[in-house]
Amino acid sequence: MNRPLVIAHRGYSSRYVENTQAAYDGAIAIGADVVETDARLTRDGQVYACHDANLARIALNGEARAIADLDAAELDAVALMGNERLSPLPVTLTRIAPRRPVLIDVKTPDLILIEAVVRDVLAHGAIGRAWIGVRDVAQMRRARELEPGLKLLAFLPDYAQADAFEQAGAQVFRVWEGEVAQPAAARVLRDKPTWVTMGGKGTPCAVGDTTPERLARILDLQPRGVLVNDPLLMIAPGTSGIAATPSST
């Protein structure tokens, strides 16, 4: 039996500092199929990988300013745990995309951000190696206008909007683990190519975290992919009893 795609949430973030090159390289080294990275826009129009709107949770020195208030040079100087640095999207696409597909989670709905993300994907020849995930239908339409060949994922803000996102260009749809039993989410999972994010909403786990038992319940639903902080839960022999061959998406 083929397993779903193993999508390393913010890289191998259960072991390394999230959204850093070390986390991305670590995910590839243990065999993740796709590396997920976040995307926010700096003051000078550059795309950097940061989940939160500000640095308060991750900066080593307590820096709490917003990503949008800093320019690229200022962000490059911010030290994280282990003296790691946040990754600019061009660096991620240059280093990671040739080895693994990259899922870019676009964190805000503004068109200027999606335009910058598409700009970087095109500039680095990563159209076939990058998935772009958005939460806004207009943003997805804009991405499709800029490049019809993009791979687009819908981080659905409302499962009832799945058809609207599909019409705008979505090829894959995200469902939260804790919501798979909701009727609208179950329909998405049944009718459309779906990737499931473990943990978070409706669960006792942080986003991306899980247990072998929780993971097994999701795998029984046969999603196309699973976003998880510890890819070894799906990859290591004997960990979850699944075959090591990923399904295609």
**112 CB-contact burial (10 Å; exposed 0-12 / middle 13-18 / buried 19+):** exposed
% helix, strand, coil for the chain, step of 5: 35, 20, 45
Distance (Å, whole) CA 103 – CA 34:
7
Phi/psi of residue 45, nearest 5 degrees: 80, 20
Q: Which residues contact 187 (CB under 8 A, 6 or more apart)?
A: 159, 162
**pLDDT in the model for residue 145:** 98
Q: What's at 163, amino acid-wise?
A: D
**pLDDT in the model for residue 3:** 87
Distance (Å, whole) CA 142 – CA 126:
18
**pLDDT in the model for residue 149:** 97
* DSSP string computed for 77-108: T--BGGG--PPBHHHHHHHTTTTS-EEEEE-S
| Residue 227, phi-psi category: left (phi > 0), alpha (psi -120 to 50), beta (remainder) | beta
Kindly report, residue by residue over 16-57, the tens digit of the pLDDT. 999 999 999 999 999 999 999 999 999 999 999 999 999 999
User: End-to-end distance of the chain based on CA atoms, in angstroms?
Assistant: 15
Q: What residues form DSSP beta bridges with 195?
A: 174, 225
CA atoms within 13 A on the CB side of 202: 12
pTM, whole model, 2 decimals?
0.94
**Which residues of the chain are under the pLDDT cut of 70?**
1, 237-249
